């Protein structure tokens, strides 16, 4: 075989072996019960996400990544979440490498030396004090809610200001072998996210492997000028867009089904059922439109060379909490209208209800975000950390 023939053959094999995004979604659908039972999305599924670009979506172009516009990545997460919320939640951390853009460039070069597909997970809170040592920090402590930690290539933990004059939390980057994962993720809803605790004992982290969350970035590309914390809220909130879409589609399918066990007309023949579905559809589409419209407007302004304003950040935070809360409300409405059949543990609606209820419990998506946005809209100073 000639070199040219060999090259063509290799390329053909690569094209056959690489899954499409739809094929990955089909695999997520087949394995979602496995994710729930194992309490995490396994590494081979993470590898499939890597092959369709989930974990290079926020990698700088200078390191071979895609640095996707936020709306493009958010739609990916939304679609995965429609199939399985836990998988969507874990995939959402494909955006987490935007945080890493605050590391020194030399550190980033080492991180991406093996390629742009890097999985980063971490537990930022509770912030743990770290002793300053020669050139870095001595890290000890336990951190909670490290979603996706079992499939991560690198892990981050929050070590606090450490006397450097910054009010923002500092994150230390560690290799998995330096961290103990405490497998204690025992919840109802989003069971497959593997949001276990992390424990670190007497590990020295060089200062060049730490960054300030929300601090100045070292990568000059538009994505890294997009508000980092607001984006972190968005990628979580969009999970409920996917879950709500799945729940509402389920209610629509049920409505077109058989008559009830009492002999009553099938749901689609009942005015209250049709009204409930239509109302939920309008709520979901309206919240989704606000969410993506705001995202697109802010990013377009950044691409044009403008820094994000306080008002723009507030609108991103507002759109995120609103879409998360609205998504949950739509799931509840779909659950209620489906009647008695929805109370059974095997019913799909149970999964949607549990997962959507967990999303809105995240601190980034609490009721307080409405207050923060309202303060900015009225020219007041919001609570610390909102902007």
- pLDDT tens for 138-190 read 999 999 999 999 999 999 999 975 455 556 789 999 999 999 999 999 999 99
Percent of the chain with pLDDT over 70: 92
CB 239 within 8 A of CB 89: yes
> What's this model's pTM, rounded to 2 decimal places?
0.92
Which of these, 124, 296, 333, lies nearest to 210 by C-alpha position? 124
Structural domains of the chain ordered from first start: 16-100 (1.10.540.10), 120-212 (2.40.110.10), 226-377 (1.20.140.10)
Q: Which residue has the tokens 């009647």?
A: 339
245-249 average pLDDT score:
98
> Tell me, what's the pLDDT at 10?
40
* Distance, CA of 296 to CA of 305 (rounded, Å): 14
Res. 102: pLDDT tops 50: yes
CB 267 within 8 A of CB 257: yes
314-339 average pLDDT score:
97
> Tell me, what's the pLDDT at 68?
98
Backbone angles phi, psi at 349, to 5 degrees: -65, -25
> Tell me, what's the pLDDT at 344?
95
Cβ of 297: how many Cβ atoms within 10 Å? 13
Cβ of 310: how many Cβ atoms within 10 Å? 16
> Tell me, what's the pLDDT at 8?
43
> Tell me, what's the pLDDT at 9?
41
Res. 258: pLDDT tops 90: no
- pLDDT tens for 217-233 read 999 999 999 999 999 99
CB 288 within 8 A of CB 239: no
Res. 383: pLDDT tops 60: yes
- Cα angle value 104/302/53 (rounded, 5°): 65
Give the residues across from 131 on adjacent strands: 138
> Tell me, what's the pLDDT at 197?
98
> Tell me, what's the pLDDT at 266?
84
Res. 339: pLDDT tops 50: yes
Res. 275: pLDDT tops 90: yes
- pLDDT tens for 347-374 read 999 999 999 999 999 999 999 999 999 9
> Tell me, what's the pLDDT at 267?
87
Q: Output the average pLDDT for the chain.
A: 92
């Amino acid at each position: 075989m000639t070199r040219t023939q060999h090259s063509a053959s290799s390329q053909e094999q690569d094209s056959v072996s690489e899954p499409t995004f739809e094929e990955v979604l089909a695999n997520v659908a087949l394995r979602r019960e496995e994710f729930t039972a194992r309490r995490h999305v396994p590494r081979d599924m993470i590898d499939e996400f890597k092959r369709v670009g989930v974990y290079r979506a926020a990698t700088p172009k200078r390191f071979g990544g895609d640095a996707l516009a936020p709306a493009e990545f958010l739609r990916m997460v939304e679609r995965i979440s429609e199939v399985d919320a836990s998988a969507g939640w874990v995939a959402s951390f494909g955006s987490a490498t935007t945080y890493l853009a605050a590391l020194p460039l030399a550190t980033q070069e080492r991180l991406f030396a093996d390629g742009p597909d890097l999985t980063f997970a971490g537990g930022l809170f509770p912030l743990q004090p770290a002793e300053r040592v020669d050139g870095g920090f001595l890290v000890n402590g336990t951190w909670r809610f490290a979603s996706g930690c079992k499939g991560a290539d690198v892990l981050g933990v929050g070590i606090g200001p450490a006397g450097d004059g910054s009010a923002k939390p500092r994150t230390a980057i560690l290799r998995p072998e330096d961290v103990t994962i405490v497998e204690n993720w025992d919840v109802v809803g989003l069971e497959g996210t593997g949001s276990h605790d992390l424990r670190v004992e007497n590990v020295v982290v060089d200062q060049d492997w730490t960054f300030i969350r929300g601090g100045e970035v070292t990568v000059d590309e538009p994505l890294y000028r997009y508000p980092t914390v607001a984006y972190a809220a968005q990628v979580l909130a969009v999970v409920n867009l996917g879950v709500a879409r799945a729940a509402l589609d389920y209610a629509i399918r049920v409505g077109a089904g058989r008559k009830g066990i009492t002999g009553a007309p099938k749901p689609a023949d009942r005015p209250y059922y049709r009204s409930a579905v239509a109302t939920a559809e309008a709520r979901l589409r309206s919240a989704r439109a606000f969410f993506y419209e705001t995202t697109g407007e802010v990013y377009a302004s950044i691409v044009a060379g403008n820094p994000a304003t306080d008002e723009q950040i507030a609108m991103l935070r507002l759109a995120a909490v609103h879409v998360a809360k609205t998504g949950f409300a739509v799931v509840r409405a779909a659950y209620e209208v489906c009647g008695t059949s929805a109370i059974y543990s095997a019913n799909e609606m149970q999964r949607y209800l549990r997962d959507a209820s967990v999303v809105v419990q995240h601190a980034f998506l609490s009721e307080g975000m409405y207050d923060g946005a309202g303060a900015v809209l009225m020219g007041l100073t919001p609570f610390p950390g909102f902007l």
